[in-house]
Amino acid sequence: MKKLTSAKAKEVFEKMSDIRNFENTLHDIFAKGEIPGFVHLYAGEEAVAVGVCSHLTDDDYITSTHRGHGHCIAKGCDLKGMMAEIYGKETGLCKGKGGSMHIADLDKGMLGANGIVGSGFPLAIGAGLRNQYLETKDVAVCFFGDGAANEGNFHESINMAAIWNLPVVFINENNTFAESTPQHYSSASKTIAERTAAYNIPGEKVDGKDFMAVYEAAGKAIERARKGEGPSLIECHTYREYGHFEGDEQTYKYDSDEENAFHERDDVKEFRDYAIKKKLFTEKVAKKIEEKSLQDVKDAVEFAKESPAPQPEALYTDVFAD
Amino acid sequence: MTKMAFMNAINQALDQAMEKDDKVFLMGEDILGGAGVKHLEEKNEDAWGGCFGVTKGLGPKYGKKRVIDTPLSEQSYMGAAVGAAVTGLRPVPELMFSDFIGVSFDSLLTQGSKMRYMFGGKAKLPLTVRTTVGAGASAAAQHSGAYYGIFASIPGIKVVVPSSPYDAKGLLLSSIEEDNIVVFCEDKTLYGVKGEVPEEYYTIPLGKAAVKREGKDLSIVTIGKMVSVALDVADKLSDQGVDVEVIDLRTVAPWDEETVIDSVKKTGRLIVIDEAQPHNNTATDIAATVTDKAFDYLDGPIKRVTAPNTPVPFATNLEQAYIPSADRVIEEAAEIIDDLKNSK
Ligand SMILES: Cc1ncc(C[n+]2csc(CCOP(=O)(O)OP(=O)(O)O)c2C)c(N)n1
Ligand SMILES: [Mg+2]
């Protein structure tokens, strides 16, 4: 696998900063009542989406979750189009018809955030099957939560990926909770990774707050899939900065000091420190990236606010292809 | 009587059903919340009481044996509810959003609903599935469906859609008493609506509509949160000298043919309002049945006012246009309303 170059590191930090700023901004905007509906923020898990998507091109596919903004940004979706979608505006990536839980950009290989937990698994199988069928070198990556791992789809899909040797990589974002329910309550296996033994595919657990750990593990798994050597799974131990959705009081948190300490970790800052220490970029460059990112997110909000609502006729279109 | 929010009326019904019959138990995702979290267990607290807080307090009161948090495994916990019901318990599982029925449908479609029939009448299915329905919460295409018509089309399933806190409590207690599968559809936008609710245990029979307002010119038949839209239409038309009768079906399967047909016999005109899609649905069923059984009493076409044949959009303006409103009802039914005025 290629080493993380200085140019790539800057790109990584840009994406991680964009996700963090996008989500922090949404947190504030939601509190002010400017956007309706359910909003699940990805802040705190940036290292996972960016660590994985840094190995992908627009021709590779990803499936996402209800907590999808991070995957979108990491896969290259436009911040303005995303923000406008979350505001329900005509200029949104889905013309304002989908909203936060359904942002998609097929041109970027982003098969949609998903309101149904666990429904990304079979979609990724389908995309992987397509890649194999058309004899491309493209891969499909399926992001899924610790909660999603308990859906029947997890088992059926991984088994199919394994028997057909599909170019699919399963990325588990284990943020230790599904809504308010801890993983140790809902899963009989201690880790998600160990379940892969039953399906004869590689599975490993990595520190999901550590960008480099995710980046390296994902790089290997994706390369393997591209070479036709089949599917694998990576469990990334992470945590979300905010509640399950905006408005969640999170009384279920803080069971032990160890958990507490883990929740306090900041993956974006950790990568920033790492990159500067490794001389991948300077403090000055980091600051510049951060400033630009803040400005880009601000511009996205402006764009969204100024954009028109969808035309009334939009209600009836897009049900069928003509 | 106390003034109580719709969701609290449901909570009280569950509480009283559990108190009355120790075979009644709840299962679902986060209906307790924080299951297995030490500091909550030590204090006997529930973190959520369900995504909307409807079951809040029941976990601490009845314990984890009777308020069971499940993993994200709708297919299997709904199937387990069927298995527990046919073996003698009285489960009341919660499906957080009726849209998730796609994940768990086998349990109801080919297992539970057919068991009694397939087994020659030997099985009983005392099972009430509580779930949420409806657009209007900006919850977008996968969390806003009004799928009661789909459930209602399956023999062996009864379907309830309450419109007020009073009805919610009485109908839920009846549902839980039933030895049949009932899908109990709670419109999430009604949860905060308040109304008078008696403290004591009471039931409202399934399959019996409520006449919300009597009138002699025009019947409006509807369900759930559309009842308030119908009453709004009635107010507006009353200003124009049209006397509207509003019927709240309360139950879509079975629906109360007698009350609807008696009303049409009296008024000669019918509007059906339904938030679900326009085809192969509750509204089409009612229109077809009335045409069949009361054709000679009709003085004009039956008007169905429904959601359009589209998924639920996210953008607020589109979502508002999606849900039938009083103005839209009056506009779409202009033909029979004008005709009615002219015939006076
Ligand atoms: C099939 C289905 N069941 C339940 C839900 C409600 N729900 C949305 S997110 C969520 C928790 C998901 O947990 P996890 O997979 O760990 O993802 P996380 O939110 O932690 O990122 C639940 C229960 C849903 N959207 N779809
Ligand atoms: Mg989780």
- Cα separation of B255 and B206, whole Å? 9
Token duo for residue A282: 């300077």
Ligand nearest to the CA of A145: 1
Chain B CB contacts of A184 below 8 Å: 36
Q: CA-CA distances (angstroms) from residue A50 to A137, A219, B149?
A: 21, 12, 43
Assess contact for B271 and B237: CB atoms under 8 A.
no
Chain A CB contacts of B138 below 8 Å: 36-38, 88, 99
Q: CA-CA distances (angstroms) from residue B134 to A218, B186, B311?
A: 41, 8, 12
CB-based burial label for B338 (10 Å; 0-12, 13-18, 19+)? exposed
Average pLDDT, chain B: 97
- Cα separation of B198 and B202, whole Å? 8
- Cα separation of B74 and A146, whole Å? 15
Chain A CB contacts of B27 below 8 Å: none
pLDDT reading at B157 higher than 70 = yes
- pLDDT bucket at A1, cuts 50 / 70 / 90: low
- Kindly list the structural domains of chain B, giving each domain's residue range(s) and its CATH number in brackets, ordered by start: 2-197 (3.40.50.970), 210-340 (3.40.50.920)
pLDDT at position A263 is 87
pLDDT at position A32 is 94
B69/A181 Cβ within 8 A: yes
- Kindly list the structural domains of chain A, giving each domain's residue range(s) and its CATH number in brackets, ordered by start: 6-307 (3.40.50.970)
Q: Which residue of B has its CA nearest to A98?
A: B314
Q: How far away is chain A from the Cα of B317, in angstroms, using its nearest Cα?
A: 7
Select from B324, B229, B213 the least CA-distant residue to B263.
Answer: B213
Token duo for residue A289: 């990236």
- Cα separation of B301 and B304, whole Å? 10
- Cα separation of B92 and B87, whole Å? 14
**Alpha-helical regions (H) of chain A:** 6-31, 46-53, 69-74, 79-86, 120-133, 152-163, 183-186, 211-226, 257-264, 267-277, 283-306
- Cα separation of A270 and A238, whole Å? 13
Token duo for residue B175: 């549902």
- DSSP labels for A72-89? HHHTT--HHHHHHHHTT-
For B239-248, write each residue's pLDDT tens digit. 999 999 999 9
Token duo for residue A235: 């469990």
Q: What percentage of chain B has pLDDT greater than the value 70? A: 100
A150/B72 Cβ within 8 A: yes
For A60-113, write each residue's pLDDT tens digit. 999 999 999 999 999 999 999 999 999 999 999 999 999 999 999 999 999 999
Q: Is A313 on the interface with B (CB under 8 A)?
A: no
- Sheet with B244-248, strands from edge to edge, namely B210-213, B244-248, B218-222, B270-274, B303-306
Chain B CB contacts of A115 below 8 Å: 99, 140-143
Q: CA-CA distances (angstroms) from residue B330 to B298, B305, B336?
A: 19, 10, 10
Q: DSSP label at B185? A: E
Residue with tokens 């007698």: B258
For A237-287, write each residue's pLDDT tens digit. 999 999 999 889 899 987 788 888 888 899 999 999 999 999 999 999 999
For B209-217, what is the mean pLDDT? 98
- Cα separation of A159 and A67, whole Å? 25
**Alpha-helical regions (H) of B112-208:** 113-118, 148-152, 165-177
For B294-333, write each residue's pLDDT tens digit. 999 999 999 999 999 999 999 999 999 999 999 999 999 9
Select from B250, B241, B261, B238 the least CA-distant residue to B212.
Answer: B250
pTM to 2 decimal places: 0.97
Average pLDDT, chain A: 96
DSSP-derived 3-state class of residue B271: strand
pLDDT at position A246 is 85
DSSP-derived 3-state class of residue A63: strand
Given ligand 1 and candidates A179, A237, A252, which is best to mutate, with the most ligand atoms within 8 Å of its CB? A179
Q: Among residues 235-274 of chain A, which lie with CB inside 8 Å of chain B?
A: 251-252, 254-256
DSSP-derived 3-state class of residue B251: strand
Q: Is A26 on the interface with B (CB under 8 A)?
A: no
Axis-axis angle for helices A6-31, A267-277 (nearest 10): 160
Those residues whose C-beta lies under 8 Å from the C-beta of residue B79, and which sit 6 or more positions away, are B104, B106, B107, B111
Q: Which residues pair with B94 in a beta bridge?
A: B130
Ligand nearest to the CA of B104: 1
Q: Among residues 115-154 of chain B, which lie with CB inside 8 Å of chain A?
A: 137-143
Assess contact for B89 and B25: CB atoms under 8 A.
yes
For B43-64, what is the mean pLDDT? 97
Those residues whose C-beta lies under 8 Å from the C-beta of residue B101, and which sit 6 or more positions away, are B95, B108, B131, B147, B150, B151
pLDDT at position A94 is 98
Residue with tokens 């308990």: A150
- Cα separation of B22 and B175, whole Å? 16
pLDDT at position B161 is 98
- Cα separation of A66 and A56, whole Å? 21
CA dihedral sign, ordered B10, B13, B19, B22: negative
Residue with tokens 């009448």: B121
Token duo for residue A197: 């033994």
pLDDT at position B330 is 97
pLDDT at position A322 is 85
Q: Count chain A–chain B contacts defined by CB atoms under 8 A.
A: 150
Q: Nearest 5°: CA angle at B115, between B109 and B119?
A: 150
Q: DSSP label at A33? A: T
C-alpha of residue A258 to centroid of ligand 1, in Å: 25
pLDDT at position A255 is 76
Q: What percentage of chain A has pLDDT greater than the value 90? A: 93
Assess contact for A144 and A234: CB atoms under 8 A.
no
CA dihedral sign, ordered B59, B29, A150, A249: negative
- pLDDT bucket at B154, cuts 50 / 70 / 90: very high
Higher pLDDT: A1 or B247? It is B247
Select from B125, B126, B103 the least CA-distant residue to B115.
Answer: B125
Active-site residue B143, yes or no? yes
- pLDDT bucket at B32, cuts 50 / 70 / 90: very high
Residue B91's CB is within 10 A of a number of other CB atoms, namely 24
DSSP-derived 3-state class of residue B31: coil
For B192-209, write each residue's pLDDT tens digit. 999 999 999 999 999 999
- DSSP labels for A97-143? SS-GGG--BGGGTB----SSTTTHHHHHHHHHHHHHHTT-S--EEEE
Ligand nearest to the CA of A48: 1
pLDDT at position A261 is 87
